Amino acid sequence: MPHGESPHAPIPTLPFELITEILSRIPVKFLMQFNCVCKPWKTLISDPKFAKKHLSTVTTTNLILSFMNPSREFLIRSYSLQSLFKSLTSIPMNLNYPLNNRNRFDVMVGSCDGMICFAIDQNWALLWNPSIRKFKKLPSLDNPKQEGSYTIYGFGYDCLSDTYKVVGVFCYECGSGGAIAYRTEVKVHTLGTDYWRRIQEFPSGVPFDSSGKFVCGAINWLASGSDAFNSSWVIVSLDLGKESYEELLQPDYGEVAVVTLTLGSLRDCLCVLAHGDTFSDVWLMKDYGNKESWTKLYRVPYMENTDSLPYTKALCISENDEVLLEFQSTLVVYNSRNGTFRVPEIQDISGWAIPEIYVESLISPCS
């Protein structure tokens, strides 16, 4: 002990500003443990402003899979994306879905900033952050039960109002004399409120995606009129800030005979999978809203012995230009550099599984 120093001198402490900087760089799973260190730390970690700071600093990205086991229980598991791309056996983490589900498959609409939106049925939606184990069941849409009707949801962040919004597009049959047509009612729920607001009707036909895709402040749907031909496919975009629609122009597919399309998001860009008879072309809109920015990344051939079925979804691209695809509820990694396929080892998944990409965050659906 240095001469003259008291044995009971106070332990040096860091300025709280520096503690905040350090904690903002630590993964969520450790911050959940640090909640118990002291009251100031718990207050900081639960602060929405700190949650946003942390989200901009740490991005741990995982794959989430929802499926039903043989006992008809709805299960959800999380997998490390790194292990899927590095040919490692991925050890899953079981996530405790907040609703007690049996004999009902809740559909994942999408994820945004760590929160995952689920469609429970045509009247209910759920927001859940599995990293912090918090959820919020939204108010009922109060749509009438009508034969042939359905609801398609979208979920994203509105930077103008600094809020998260869920959009419900209720599609229902109308018409007479044997001529059946569809009409829509569109409602928006802003997180932090307890009601839905009705906005302008869907502008072009009806959406036929399972859910809207959130990119650059807008939710995007692939839609068509009464005919499902290439000429009638349109991409409808809903700006969450202005709550106004726009039709986005598609890529110039050239001489490719496009059989069908799939809309998605890759590298924070709008993505189109254009399916031909024997392959799928992966297109990215690198400058959102600019038709000239559509760029074809890869041509992914269909795997052998698959009856030329198209890929269901493009999920993620690695730093080595490997793309993770969903193929009829199976995950496939395509190496664009050598043209090879690999099926990641995922254990104990039976039946139909729905995949989604999400980041671990402190953003709470309850705030």
Amino acid found at 360:
E
Number of domain units in the chain? 2
- Are 98 and 242 part of one and the same domain? yes
- Are 125 and 271 part of one and the same domain? yes
Please name every residue paired with 317 in a beta bridge, in sequence order, or none if there are none. Answer: 323
CATH code, domain carrying 183 = 2.120.10.80
CB atoms within 10 A of CB 179: 8
pLDDT tens digits for the chain (367 residues)?
555 555 565 555 778 888 889 999 999 999 999 888 888 889 999 999 999 999 999 888 999 999 888 888 888 999 988 888 887 677 788 899 999 877 788 999 999 999 999 999 889 999 999 999 999 999 999 988 888 888 999 999 999 999 999 999 999 887 665 566 778 899 999 999 999 999 999 987 888 888 999 999 999 999 975 443 444 789 999 999 999 999 999 999 988 888 889 999 999 999 999 998 889 999 999 999 999 999 999 999 988 766 667 788 899 998 888 999 998 778 889 998 888 898 887 756 666 788 999 999 999 999 7
- Are 43 and 174 part of one and the same domain? no
Q: What is the pTM of this model?
A: 0.90
- Are 23 and 76 part of one and the same domain? no
Structural domain includes residue 1? no
- Among candidate residues 58, 80, 110, the one where a domain is terminated: 58
Structural domain includes residue 141? yes
Amino acid found at 9:
A
- Are 191 and 217 part of one and the same domain? yes
Structural domain includes residue 134? yes
- Are 226 and 292 part of one and the same domain? yes
- Rounded CA separation 367/361 (Å): 14
Structural domain includes residue 269? yes
- Among candidate residues 6, 39, 58, the one where a domain is terminated: 58
- Rounded CA separation 355/325 (Å): 10
- Are 173 and 228 part of one and the same domain? yes
Structural domain includes residue 317? yes
Give me the domain span that covers residue 22: 16-58
Structural domain includes residue 183? yes
- Are 37 and 108 part of one and the same domain? no
Instruction: Report the C-alpha dihedral over residues 23, 24, 30, 33, rounded to 10 degrees.
Output: 60
